[in-house]
Amino acid sequence: MSAALLSMMPNAAPARAPSMLGQLAAFLVIGAAGAVGFVALSSTVTQITGAQGWVPNALCYAVLVGPVYLAHRRFSFQSSLPHEQALPRYIGVQLVALGLVTLFSFIIYSIFALPAVAAAMLVIALTAGVNFMVLRGWAFAKAAPLALPRPLRLRAGTHE
């Protein structure tokens, strides 16, 4: 909020940082909405174009990265980090998440041999959990100012 607006509201309480539980709830709602949007968009594109397979799905996913990023930035994490910093981090986290889905899927399907639905649910839960913590702690986190070490002060007459 601008300084001019703040000066008009001298008794306004400062904005509280959202609790982790509130952030997690918003994260899950936005993630679910993004998943529903992906299914709807992908189904529509497939019906209209007749194209099937990974290409239309990848394009539909790419289209939704921006809106989901903006929703997470504003509602899940209420971040004021500049887009120039937060967006590349967000995209990096999403790329790492693709690798995690692959790793978790390999482990859960191959090693534990869980049924498909249970395995998919566990993969989603694990990946979303890691995603949430990395987005919260790094991608949307305000960087702490660098603390420079204090110079060592020697007292006269000592050999420290």
Q: Taking residues 124-151, report their average pLDDT.
A: 83
Q: Which two tokens stand for residue 128?
A: 């979303």
pLDDT in tens, 22-31: 999 999 999 9
Task: Tell me the percentage of the chain whose pLDDT exceeds 70.
Answer: 78
- For the whole model, what pTM was predicted? 0.74
Mean pLDDT of the residues in the chain = 84
Q: Taking residues 91-111, report their average pLDDT.
A: 92
Q: Compare 46 and 92 and report the one with higher pLDDT.
A: 92
Dihedral sign, Cα of residue 57, residue 62, residue 68, residue 73: positive
Q: Taking residues 112-119, report their average pLDDT.
A: 87
Q: Taking residues 72-86, report their average pLDDT.
A: 94
For helices 20-49 and 54-71, the axis angle rounded to 10 degrees is: 150
Q: What is the DSSP string of 75-95?
A: IIS---S-HHHHHHHHHHHHH
142, 81 contact by CB (below 8 A): yes
pLDDT in tens, 146-157: 555 666 666 666
The model's confidence at residue 13, banded by pLDDT at 50, 70 and 90, is very low
Contacts of 12 (CB under 8 A, 6+ apart): 6
The model's confidence at residue 55, banded by pLDDT at 50, 70 and 90, is confident
